[in-house]
Structure 1
Amino acid sequence: MKILHTPVVCGAEKPFTLLHISDTHLTLADERNDKRKIDLADDRSSCFPSALSDLREAEEYARKNHLTIVHTGDLIDFVSEANLDAAKKFTSGNDVFFSAGNHEFSLYVGEAFEDEAYRNQSLAHVQESFTNDIRFASRVINGVKLIAIDDSYYRFDRPQLEKLKKETEDNLPIILLMHNPIYEPELFRTARPKGDSAYLTSTPDELMSDYSEYRFKQQQADDITIETTEFIKSCPLIKAVFAGHLHYDYEGKLTESIPQYVTGIGTMRLIDIS
């Protein structure tokens, strides 16, 4: 795997390093699931041939160097018992802090519109394989707060915003972890030509005028998402945002004071926090 080094200066009590990976897309299935799922695994495995080997390489690197792994979603490509077993082994066997991606809740990959009702079909079962709340969680390392927040359907919700505000009350510096990057002009210019949409949270409506009806509905920000995004951008305690989803590496600025980093498939990003 490629290794990137990213320094973040935020006033840590003692310098430390996090290992950021994202979008592993494990594609495992066995007889505990139906034939449709097994066929899906066979088909999707060709899209992510190095998923298991990359995950093992990251695990080995983290163990050798005594690092916490931060994973920003799509560890699994779809919900299956074999995938969830692998997720449980990964999260329980390593020091892992995790934020959900959209594929954590995907039943057959693209078979239905993904919204809260769709996610809730599998959320409780999927959650059992992870060691932190995959929709919102926080932990403190050396005086720096890590917050994982699920925006995997391009939206935040009211409880997440209230929890995020509550987490700022102790005035600790914050590193924010999420699956989908937040819209910024330069990232939009980079992402838009690569596909049928930019796949960013809080993209302004007017910039999505050429999206298909499906992609516009999927990625249109509601009022609470816009409010949460504005809170993030205006919060002086948030020192950096780390995301995935796009499958390629990117470094930019959410605001003049908040850098945003996207870590792609096949990359280990070492976040050196001081």
Structure 2
Amino acid sequence: MMTMTPKQDTMAARQDTGQGTAKQGTARQQETTIRIPGLINDLTLMHVTDCHLTECDERETAAIREAARNRAKVFADQLDGGDTTLGIFQRFIDDSNEQQVDFTVFTGDIIDFPSQANLETIRAAYDRLNSPFLYTLGNHDWYFDGRFTDEVRAEAYPQFRDWISTTPGCDVRTVGGVKLIALDNSNYQVTREQFETIREAAALDEPYLLFMHIPMYLSGLVKDVVDKWKAPILMGASGWDPEVREAWQVRHQDESTGEFCRWLASPDSGNIRGIFCGHVHLNHTDAFREGRYQYVTASGYTSTSRLIRLIAD
């Protein structure tokens, strides 16, 4: 289980380029509009991240059940009276169905740990989702026993095989002429194989959106992240204190990760129209290259999601 507990995000949502905030019942739904030249039909996507479900039952060990109760209390202390992370997550499924979105994307930490009850809960929810969807892992989806390693993630992958690609941890779908790419960077790294998959998709010069759990390091984002978490918990981040890095169990950056971040920030990344991610539990928008923005969506357990409108330019 993660030793650093999330805090309530009290930071006001920043205004995205072309974005406002809509209310959906008790939900806070960020709205982002992206204009795409040549788009034949307007599209609507829903982005959900960091719901941190804490469902657990007698099938788990006593130690796991106790850890789950402690994690559930962390989130219960931050929710409105009577609400639960499960109730909020179920409302997101309802909202997606009611709004008849064209696609729903879940960018990790939907569950706080991979208990059998949590996995059954998301299975049932995805079964009743009307839209096609993508689900990429966050660190909490697989980080369960205190060991934040690639081996632990690999061991957990089979539990998610119905929803994610295990090789190379990078799913590509097309809707209405726009490619949606879900990248598993839940260990703060991007492999050479993942990078090549995305580079090949970008080479076709078709518009695409990138969805991943951990945001890419940007100078305009890192201050807010460090203020909140006391660590630069971003993909490609520099400036880690060695003791803090060790506490977070984040290894030094792979060469392929650095190359990927530089590629995204350059015109070589092609017709990318936006990056969407979560992990840091706050709303933030910043350019990663000229005219292209990374949109960080606040945690789902705060009843926040993002509605993405793609419209013809």
TM-score, normalising length: structure 2: 0.81
- Structure 2 letter corresponding to 1:81: Q
Measure the CA separation in 1 of the matches of 2:248 and 2:156: 25
**1:83 and 2:124 matched:** no
- Structure 2 letter corresponding to 1:185: S
1:69 paired residue among 75, 81, 104:
104
**What is the deviation of 1:251?**
1.3
Measure the CA separation in 1 of the matches of 2:62 and 2:242: 38
Q: What does residue 218 of structure 1 align with?
A: 250
**1:8 and 2:34 matched:** yes
Contact 2:236 2:261 (8 Å CA) reproduced: yes
**1:26 and 2:63 matched:** no
Contact 1:252 1:260 (8 Å CA) reproduced: yes
Q: Aligned with 1:46: secondary structure?
A: helix
Deviation larger for 178-187 or 167-176: 167-176
**Count of residue pairs brought into register by the alignment:** 267
Contact 1:154 1:220 (8 Å CA) reproduced: no
**1:99 and 2:133 matched:** no
**1:170 and 2:204 matched:** yes
TM-score, normalising length: structure 1: 0.91
**1:272 and 2:313 matched:** no
Q: What does residue 155 of structure 2 align with?
A: 121
**1:143 and 2:143 matched:** no
Q: What does residue 247 of structure 1 align with?
A: 281
Q: Aligned with 1:200: secondary structure?
A: coil
Contact 1:247 1:264 (8 Å CA) reproduced: yes
**What is the deviation of 1:259?**
0.2
Q: Aligned with 1:84: secondary structure?
A: helix
- Structure 2 letter corresponding to 1:157: T
Measure the CA separation in 2 of the matches of 1:32 and 1:55: 23
1:235-264, Cα deviation, whole Å (9 max, x unpaired)? 121110000001111111112222011111
Contact 2:278 2:297 (8 Å CA) reproduced: yes
Q: What does residue 11 of structure 2 align with?
A: none
Q: Aligned with 1:9: secondary structure?
A: strand
Structure 1 residues without counterparts, runs of 5 or longer: none
Measure the CA separation in 2 of the matches of 1:245 and 1:216: 14
For the aligned residue pairs, the C-alpha RMSD in angstroms reads 1.7
Measure the CA separation in 2 of the matches of 1:216 and 1:78: 17
Measure the CA separation in 2 of the matches of 1:126 and 1:34: 21
Structure 2 residues without counterparts, runs of 5 or longer: 1-26, 77-83
Q: Aligned with 2:209: secondary structure?
A: strand
Contact 1:147 1:177 (8 Å CA) reproduced: yes
Instruction: Please list every run of at least 4 consecutive aligned residues from structure 1 whose deviation after the TM superposition is greater than 3 angstroms.
Output: none
1:67-113, Cα deviation, whole Å (9 max, x unpaired)? 122111001100111011012112232132111101111123xx22x
Deviation larger for 57-66 or 228-237: 228-237
Measure the CA separation in 1 of the matches of 2:181 and 2:98: 25
**What is the deviation of 1:210?**
6.8
**What is the deviation of 1:38?**
1.5
Identity %: 26
Measure the CA separation in 2 of the matches of 1:9 and 1:99: 25
**What is the deviation of 1:216?**
7.6
**What is the deviation of 1:268?**
1.6
Contact 1:79 1:126 (8 Å CA) reproduced: no
- Structure 1 letter corresponding to 2:294: Q
Q: What does residue 89 of structure 2 align with?
A: 55
Measure the CA separation in 2 of the matches of 1:188 and 1:211: 18
1:188-267, aligned counterparts within 5 Å? 188-204=222-238, 207-209=239-241, 212-214=244-246, 218=250, 220-234=252-266, 235-265=269-299, 266-267=303-304
Measure the CA separation in 2 of the matches of 1:197 and 1:271: 29
Measure the CA separation in 2 of the matches of 1:153 and 1:52: 25
Measure the CA separation in 2 of the matches of 1:115 and 1:87: 24
